[in-house]
Amino acid sequence: MPAPAPADLAAPLPALITDAAMAAERKGWFDKLKTGLRKTGTGIQAVFVNAQIDDALYEELESALLMADAGVKATEYLLDDLRGRVKRQMATDAAQVKRLLADAITDLLQPLEKPLVIGQFTPTVIMVAGVNGAGKTTSIGKLTKHLANEGASVLLAAADTFRAAAREQLLVWADRNTVEIVSQEGGDPSAVSFDAVTAGKARGKDVVLVDTAGRLPTQLHLMDELRKIKRVVTKADATAPHEVLLVIDGNTGQNALAQVRAFDETLGLTGLVVTKLDGTAKGGVLCAIARERPVPVYFIGVGEKLEDLETFNAREFALALLG
Ligand SMILES: Nc1nc2c(ncn2[C@@H]2O[C@H](COP(=O)(O)OP(=O)(O)OP(=O)(O)O)[C@@H](O)[C@H]2O)c(=O)[nH]1
Ligand SMILES: [Mg+2]
């Protein structure tokens, strides 16, 4: 069977805009992100109201960025960068400074914008990890739909074998997406993952998505278990896993950076999914991640429904962040 052409799942925005319906959809989603990050935007925007370009402006911006979870390092970096831009452009009013800040944030976040490519391997095996309740299973459900929309066949692996409820939750998503699922009552997560990858190969699936149980980086035996899942997946397919994704809850603030570091050290992450950006998340933590542990952000989640998953776009995110 000929291998399907690699599907670029995160086509850059201009390509989407050519299609009016897609552009409208994207705008709806952008509005959701903007609404979610509005509090952050309001905080940063307030700094520019009736402001002069002086030290006080930079000091207030510093506070606003820290409050938005950008962290000390990214905040310092952004302010230095901004001062340089203001000088070079000879900006004279606060509105100009705000636009230059949007540019600075866009440039900082740009390296995180990278498409998830499938089709190079059949199946592309994607392992999904994260702390408890981050949104792994929900994101897998949404990602399945996203992939199905691209014409990819998906097999789900219920490697969260701790709770029967977890298996059932994934089953519901499988039903909603009408895809197959490999699951085992009381099974071992590595064994389920092995079976799923083997089945994925045998059945010629385009993608195998492995859902794992939530765990904290401090639970060392559970982090070891993740390593084992990864090892065993490689036994089923020497080139797999092709992607190791960490799902992070956008509300976790600076702790998200600690999670990226810890899971990256354990597993070697290839990408992130940042969820719950529709709620009270402040979003600035992506600046900290970009500065300190730049793992690409493949997708962001802006709700609990199937369609509430979107590709990450640095410019859009920067604009949403500034309100
Ligand atoms: N508002 C909002 N809620 C979300 C989003 N993603 C997930 N959730 C909700 O977050 C909760 C936890 O989601 P799960 O997908 O079960 O999280 P999980 O990481 O699989 O959890 P464990 O397997 O228990 O570790 C559920 O109530 C989801 O509906 C999102 O983008 N926005
Ligand atoms: Mg789960």
Residue 306 has pLDDT above 90, yes or no: no
Q: What is the mean pLDDT of the chain?
A: 90
**Is 30 or 97 the better-scoring residue by pLDDT?**
97
User: Which residue's C-alpha comes closest to atom 29 of ligand 1?
Assistant: 304
Is 137 a pocket residue for ligand 1 (Cβ < 6 Å)?
Answer: yes
Is 135 a pocket residue for ligand 1 (Cβ < 6 Å)?
Answer: yes
From 35, 138, 170, mutation site for ligand 1 pocket: most ligand atoms within 8 A of C-beta: 138
> Cα-atom radius of gyration of the chain, to the nearest Å?
21
**Would the pTM of this model clear 0.85, i.e. be above it?**
yes
Q: Which ligand does the CA of 274 lie closest to?
A: 1
For residue 302, the SS3 value is coil
User: Which residues make Cβ contacts (< 8 Å) with residue 99, sequence separation at least 6?
Assistant: none
Average of pLDDT values for 192-211? 96
Pairwise CA distance, residues 125 & 114, whole Å: 18
Q: Which ligand does the CA of 248 lie closest to?
A: 1
Instruction: Pull the structure tokens for residue 253.
Output: 């603030």
pLDDT confidence of residue 187: 81
Instruction: Write down the H helix ranges in 110-254.
Output: 136-149, 164-177, 189-202, 220-236
pLDDT confidence of residue 231: 98
pLDDT confidence of residue 3: 47
